[in-house]
A = this chain, B = another copy of it.
Amino acid sequence: MSLDQNKIPQATAKRLPLYYRFLNNLQMQGKTRVSSKELSEAVKVDSATIRRDFSYFGALGKKGYGYNVEYLLGFFRKTLDQDELTEVALIGVGNLGTAFLNYNFTKNNNTKIMLAFDADPEKVGKEIGGVPIYHIDDMEEKLGNVKVAILTIPAQEADRITERLVVKGIKGILNFTPARITVPDDVRVHHIDLAIELQALVYFLKHYPLEKIDNEEENTY
């Protein structure tokens, strides 16, 4: 079945990596099928949305059977371009940056941190997780053709560094600083604010308490 990428709505596309990762875990556990209800509980998207999303992928769940895990994984792998590597630069080798370098992303993904930058002379010239650390002053020279950067620098540096990245031609930034950064229209930023994530969890706990259901059903996240 051939499928035109552009026909997947953007909201659906946004959930693809989430579906992919969850189904990958299922397959590793030896599961061959999954219901939209199970998926719904695991990825926290309602069942109706999942069924609509999956219909775009050419996957039709069968009643009492669910979806074929292997078919879906094959589709997602193709769609997410698992085989085509995207090189990523990490800016700022503090604790959060170091966590990223140790974690790296090669195990399941099509992304790899190729190089890192920091201003600390103690760090420059070293490697963490096999990734070389260069001086932040050499950023433009070393970045080469890299188009994606992870920002793990102090908030007060965010604007200045972002400006340099944009001038150099970076097109995607994963911003982990608490600062909101300003970019031209053709640069994509995903902002992950750790404080807001925690605050949202606490807000939900207070105002939308969950209830224990009798049949001891459990949720996987």
Contact = CB atoms under 8 A, between A and B. Distances in A.
Given A195-B109, A196-B17, A172 B185 contact: no
Interface stretch (A47-55, A94-102, A118-126): A94-102
Interface in A162-221: 171-172, 174-175, 178, 180-213, 216-221
Contacts of A189: 219, 221
A146 B216 CA distance: 24
B201 A13 contact: no
Per assembly, the copies of the chain total 2
Contacts of A190: 197, 200-201, 221
A202 B172 contact: yes
Interface size class of A (residues with CB under 8 A): 35 or more
Given A186-B211, A218-B185, A174 B148 contact: no
Contacts of A199: 17, 20, 80, 105, 109-111
Given A21-B193, A95-B96, A201-B190, A218 B182 contact: yes
Interface string A74-97: 000000110000101000001110
A42 interface: yes
Contacts of A172: 201-202, 204-205
A202 B99 contact: no
Interface of A: 5-6, 10, 13-14, 16-18, 20-22, 25, 42, 80-81, 86, 88, 94-96, 98-100, 102-103, 105, 108-111, 147-148, 150, 171-172, 174-175, 178, 180-213, 216-221
